[in-house]
Structure 1
Amino acid sequence: MKTSRLHAHIGTLRQLEILLAVHDHGGISAAAKALYLTQPTVSMQMKKLGDAIGAPLYRMNQRQLTFTDEGIELVKTAVEVLDSFARLDSTLSKMNELKMGTLRLAVVNTSQYFIPHLLGPFCQQFPDIDVQLKVGNREQTIERLRQGVEDFYVFSHPPQDNDSDSIEFLDNPLVAIAHQDHPLSKRKRLSLDHLCKEPFLMREQGSGTRHAIEEFLRSQNKSLSVKMTMESNEAIKHSVMSGLGVSIVSAHTLTYGGQSDLVRLPVKELPIDSHWFFVWSTTKRRTVIAESFLEYVQTEGRELLQRELRRNKF
């Protein structure tokens, strides 16, 4: 059997940890700060790794660090190597009735409202684990799924990918909202036509919420009067509170994000049925802690969040 000797040149586990820090923090300076190292030290270790594989790990464009294809492959390998040690650590800990290791999650923006409430009880059960949580828009999270760095990814509309698998985890009803002093908020019954006549605040192109709204409108043969497009739920909520228009958002942004002066509008065609999914790469081997978390997600974690939705009558 032919044996690769590349490992003899790539370097130490510490260099791989530095590599992941640069990747996860998006730059040399941030990685150095997180690791309590100097920037020259981090840069030197990255150069050594690049020299070892015979290709640059990243490129700089207008102060923006972007990993090369070779760099991404090394990042994926570094995760596998370090996770192997984490699995050993977790397995040994499990033998002593402990759970240790690192759980890595990448989630889309809207799910950030409920994910901390999901993680809280899990981390209380296993206080020795570390959690790395990346929040981004749908396109950024899809890119991280392609890279296969994290254990799990959370989407409302998961990508169709042969190298990934998923479970439907939680209802994600999309509801119409307005300021409490808005004329529509005084009505006990509304139709979609009423909503279509109002200035509408829409999420950005590529957002899972926007995708669901547009699919729903096509099925109803309706169109909205979009006044503004925004890249976050918080911006939409504050704009609605400022009287700039109405919107449709995930019920979770009200359940966990605070309702303030917002009210749910009783539009008879709503809510839009949507769901949250936990997704993982089928090419990445799951750690012991990841297996435990997935089991928790499918049992008490799911019930915990569903109970909150029912309590808030969504």
Structure 2
Amino acid sequence: MTPNLHITSQQIRIFEAVARNLSYTKAAEELGLSQPAVSIQMKRLEENNDVKFIEVIGKKLYLTRPGERMLKSCQRILDELHDLNGHIKSAQQKIEGELKIAVVTPAKYFMPYILKAFLNRYPDVRPAITVINRRRILDELKQNQYDLSIMGRVPEELKLDSFPFFQNELVVAAPAKHRLSKEKRIPIAEIATERFLMREKGSGIRMSVEDRFAENGIIIEPYMELGSTESIKQAVMAGLGISVLPKQAIRIEAKHGHLDILDVEGFPVIRDWYVAKMKDKNLHPAAQAFVDFLNSIDIERLLAMSDTR
């Protein structure tokens, strides 16, 4: 063959089919092309490289010596491309590598149990979990910092693909043996007079709580604002006041009598937990596997099985 061979990948496939079959017609049928298209490409290939790869004697096609060498090279190239394609597909299908997830703080009370079950199925995945407040998640999602995010409210201003995977029950939590602990159907107006502990403004839980009270014509003035669900839970157990908290966040403490869940009209407030990603983001296999996993498991049952403390 001449130096600086000018050839396209399409011409490699066409030449290999023609040379192997020694027929333009069979090559065209095999490749799903018209016979004239095959003939034109073969002619261009020879003209561009100033060499004859195929000669016609009588009505039969024969390979020239450069053609024989060309056939071997083309077959080797196509074999390598086939192997490469298989390797890439295999790598894409293998569930492994880093999985970056941003989680709003209340979700940390159930996400570890979900991750443990997920990693039992996909042990080669390396999760990198960032627990932050909702406002920071929204900022960093815009900067493509995470594969997925777990949140209670999906902002309309961001272009997100999301779906609900778990119900979030917001309940009224009080110190153990609170004066209202044994009461039934407590009017919502009555608890509004209690010292209320709340998350900071912008928190998804706070917005849900304020919405529920607003539906009843009540505006809540917080006695104290705290920056995390955990700090509020500890403050409630210390007797500083009452609060509305995710049931998942206090299930262990309620089970062992460290705080009480009050029976209040209009509660629990039922909201959904969502898994979300930016609309144009392509999920790698580990991230897609995690989304599929959330769709397939019974999280309530998983948490019940985990609560053995």
Fold shared, TM-score > 0.5 on shorter chain: yes
Shift of 1:296: 0.7
Shift of 1:91: 4.8
Report 1:1-314 matches (<5 A): 91-92=89-90, 99-161=95-157, 163-255=159-251, 261-300=258-297, 303-305=298-300, 308=303
Relative distance call for 1:89 and 1:293 in structure 2 (3 A) is: farther
Shift of 1:105: 0.2
Moved over 6 A (4+): 309-312
Residues of 1 paired with 2:160 and 2:288: CA distance? Answer: 16
Relative distance call for 1:228 and 1:89 in structure 2 (3 A) is: farther
Q: Which range moves more in the overlay, 186-195 or 246-255?
A: 186-195
Shift of 1:194: 1.6
Q: Output the aligned Cα RMSD.
A: 2.5
Contact 2:166 2:299 in 1 (8 A): no
Contact 2:185 2:264 in 1 (8 A): yes
Among all aligned residue pairs of Structure 1 and Structure 2, give the percentage whose two residues are the same amino acid: 28
Residues of 2 paired with 1:297 and 1:281: CA distance? Answer: 18
Residues of 1 paired with 2:152 and 2:113: CA distance? Answer: 17
TM-score normalized with structure 1 length: 0.65
Relative distance call for 1:91 and 1:250 in structure 2 (3 A) is: farther
Number of aligned residues: 221
Residues of 1 paired with 2:180 and 2:139: CA distance? Answer: 40
Residues of 1 paired with 2:153 and 2:253: CA distance? Answer: 21
- Any stretches of 5+ residues in structure 2 without a counterpart? 1-85
Q: Secondary structure at the match of 1:183?
A: coil
Shift of 1:94: 6.8
Residues of 2 paired with 1:182 and 1:305: CA distance? Answer: 28
Shift of 1:255: 2.8
Contact 1:90 1:99 in 2 (8 A): no
Residues of 2 paired with 1:220 and 1:310: CA distance? Answer: 37
Contact 2:161 2:278 in 1 (8 A): yes
Shift of 1:283: 2.1
Contact 2:198 2:243 in 1 (8 A): yes
Larger Rg: 2
Contact 2:151 2:275 in 1 (8 A): yes
Residues of 1 paired with 2:151 and 2:201: CA distance? Answer: 15
- Any stretches of 5+ residues in structure 1 without a counterpart? 1-87
Contact 1:106 1:144 in 2 (8 A): no
Contact 2:171 2:247 in 1 (8 A): yes
Relative distance call for 1:171 and 1:285 in structure 2 (3 A) is: same
TM-score normalized with structure 2 length: 0.66
Residues of 2 paired with 1:182 and 1:90: CA distance? Answer: 61
